[in-house]
Structure 1
Amino acid sequence: MPSLTQIQARRRLIVVILLCVALGGAALRQLSAPGSTQRDVGTLLMLLWIPVIGNIIAWLVNRMRAARALKKAAAVMAAAPAAPLREDMPFEPHAWVELTLRPAGVPAEDIPIAEGLHHCALVIGNEGFSVRWQVGPGRSFRRGTLQTLPVEFMAPEAALPRLKPGLAFRLLVGEAFIGDGQVLQLSTP
């Protein structure tokens, strides 16, 4: 099991404390006489648990939506014929995009993105397109910073008709979305 971040550990502690308060309130309510102030305090302590339940339900709904979106994108990528990703092919940008890579989940992975070609899938709605993007020679950048970079589609005839400036997209590597961005301009052939 991965280690918890400090915020996750605090949230877990808060949930445990509120659960204990709610259980104490239930015990106080059970042991008190009907109509007494102690019984009312027990009821109030039990009600402190309600916001946590709402947060748990919202978290579960968001997890289900994310899993469904990821499954759709993975199905689209699996159904699309794979274009050969040959490193010896010259890089020919088809579009310029503005993107921000999401912060690394583990501090050890929080390293600068080096110069060179990087491969991923560009996901628009429920469609995915294999792309490679280039960080120029002598350049690097950190995750979480806005970058303007050229991208090359492995199947430009399928992707370019669906693109227009301002169109938002996500970057997918494996089964994880690693970044978000938008199309700035299409390159002219």
Structure 2
Amino acid sequence: MTTIQARRKLIVILLLCVALGGAVLRHLGAPGTTLRDVGTLLMLLWIPVIGNVIAWLITKVRRKLPTEAAPTTEFDVAQPFRPQVQVELTLRPAAVPAEDLPIAEGEHHCAFVIGNEGFSGKWRVPEGGSFYRGTPQMLEVEFLAPALALPKFAPGVVFRMLVGESFIGDGRVLQPIDAAGPSAA
């Protein structure tokens, strides 16, 4: 037991003793006397501790209950890239022209935002492809939770790209991609 846990346990025991003493004073005091009022006050000191004890018990019970599998918050690196929509994306130019370099090929993670809803996703710059800021590019996107995102990303829908706390690009959905390839929609 840590020092903090030992102190907390001591405080709970002391407050319990004070509350029991208050119950005895309340029992011995006649109605309307100061002795009875002091006993009631001493019993009320126990209320905050009871709340903490109940909260502690609830957390213990919840830990022992079986829980559903937590939703995944990151892409599985072992899985191949499986695009679900094709988009046209324009990244904003860098603030400093010397930093306005082409985007490296490979996968890039971000959030795609429509209105006030954001969806985690990743997009890929193909090998040998060049992606420059400020020019519209057609890219494929995979969502972390496609069941939630795909109904929102219909052809023609406009979105913004969020990386960290900054919106770095704008785009629009071109078409959904079937497992066999882009659809003819």
TM-score (ref. length: structure 1) = 0.55
Equivalent position of 1:92 in the other structure: 82
1:155 aligns with 2:131: no
SS in 2 for 1:157: helix
Does the CA contact (< 8 Å) of 1:129 and 1:153 recur in 2?
A: yes
1:108-155 Cα offsets, whole Å, 9 max, x none, are 421101110011000001000001001111112210011000000010
Letter of the aligned partner of 1:92 in structure 2? R
Equivalent position of 2:106 in the other structure: 116
Equivalent position of 2:34 in the other structure: none
Query: As a proportion of its length, which structure holds more helix?
Result: 1
Q: Which runs of 4+ in 1 moved over 3 A?
A: none
Q: Give me the whole-angstrom Cα distance separating, in 2, the residues matched to 1:114 and 1:141.
A: 8
Letter of the aligned partner of 2:75 in structure 1? L
**Number of residues paired by the alignment?**
109
Larger radius of gyration: 2
Residue 170 of structure 1: CA displacement? 0.3
- Indicate the RMSD between aligned Cα atoms, in angstroms: 1.3
TM-score (ref. length: structure 2) = 0.56
Structure 2 portions without partners, runs of 5+: 1-70, 180-185
Does the CA contact (< 8 Å) of 1:103 and 1:143 recur in 2?
A: yes
SS in 1 for 2:73: coil
Q: Give me the whole-angstrom Cα distance separating, in 2, the residues matched to 1:139 and 1:128.
A: 27
Structure 1 portions without partners, runs of 5+: 1-80
Does the CA contact (< 8 Å) of 1:83 and 1:155 recur in 2?
A: no
SS in 1 for 2:122: strand
